[in-house]
Amino acid sequence: MQQLTKAMKMVSAAKLRRAQDRIFAARPYAAALRKVLTSVATRVENITHPLLEPREAERNVLMVVVTADRGLCGAYNSSVIRAAEGSMKEQAELGRDYALYIVGRKAEGYFRYRNFRIDESFTGFSDRPTYEDARTIGRAVTKAFVDGEVDMVELVYTRFISAGSQEVVRRPLVPLEREVTAGGDGRPDEHDDGTAAAAYEFEPGPDTILDALLPRYIEARIYAALLNAAASEHAARQRAMKSATDNADDLITRLTRVMNRARQDAITTEIMEIVGGAEALRSGVGIADETFDTAMSLGDPE
């Protein structure tokens, strides 16, 4: 078992390095997409879009819960599930209903076993998600919001900070915050030299470009959450397998001491039995000689 857990720890460490590389590789795309989105939005007056408009009455909340497909990763899955349950309780106290989009078999099994209503389930890619997986989830989320099935969408996942630190977070996803399209403080982007950005001519129009960019921005945020969750899963599994390996080593040490003590006790017992037997034989021979001498002195013919 120690050899198995040690091998799993090494595999998780290798996967963690690749997952971190994927997070770093995805950041430039997300930053460029946000910059283009902001640049377009600041040049459109009175921007309106279904994905930007908050609902007056938020009656239904969709939660996208991101967990792993496999276990043996410590409290990684249970932490996300507890956060999702806590969010559902908060929404219920506010008189809101919930909808569940599950990512990962662990959350699916947990909520299905407890008879929660699961609207969509996405599994089989938790340890190595692709952008196409994020696109599939993004399309389902966008459709549910635009069609009026839900009034708000929330992401529940584990944010990767470092190999030794991760945290479960809840992030609003849809409707998108106005800051996304407001250039941060509401002003157009500026160059490093402080001059205002030049005006652009858009073909097709800015509204059409926003229609294409906003769903992609949602997909990019979901993809970032999936990548963070994957890296957090590998980090959690690495720590869990290291702990299991160390515990196995401690158990081997304790059992070895117990076995050595038992072997020593058995050897000591055998030595004592041999010594006792030898003493008994020696005592028996002495008694027999003494009896023979006594009989001869009495003239006993036998």
**Per the structure block, which two tokens stand in for 110?**
């947990």
DSSP label at residue 190: B
197: helix, strand or coil: coil
Using left for φ > 0, alpha for ψ between -120 and 50, and beta otherwise, residue 194 falls in left
Alpha carbons within 13 A on the beta-carbon side of 14: 5
Strand order in the sheet with 165-174: 120-122, 97-103, 60-66, 152-162, 165-174
How many residues make up the chain in this entry?
A: 302
**By the 8 A CB rule, do 197 and 183 touch?**
no
Active site residues: 73
Nearest residue to 8 (alpha-carbon basis) of 60, 65, 70: 70
User: 165 has which bridge partners?
Assistant: 162
Distances (CA, A) of 31 to 27, 210, 271, 293: 6, 16, 79, 112
In DSSP notation, 201-245 reads --SS-HHHHHHHHHHHHHHHHHHHHHHHHHHHHHHHHHHHHHHHH
**Per the structure block, which two tokens stand in for 160?**
């990767």
Q: What value, to the nearest 5°, has the Cα angle with vertex 51 and ends 126 and 185?
A: 100
Q: Are strands 60-66 and 152-162 parallel, antiparallel or unpaired?
A: parallel
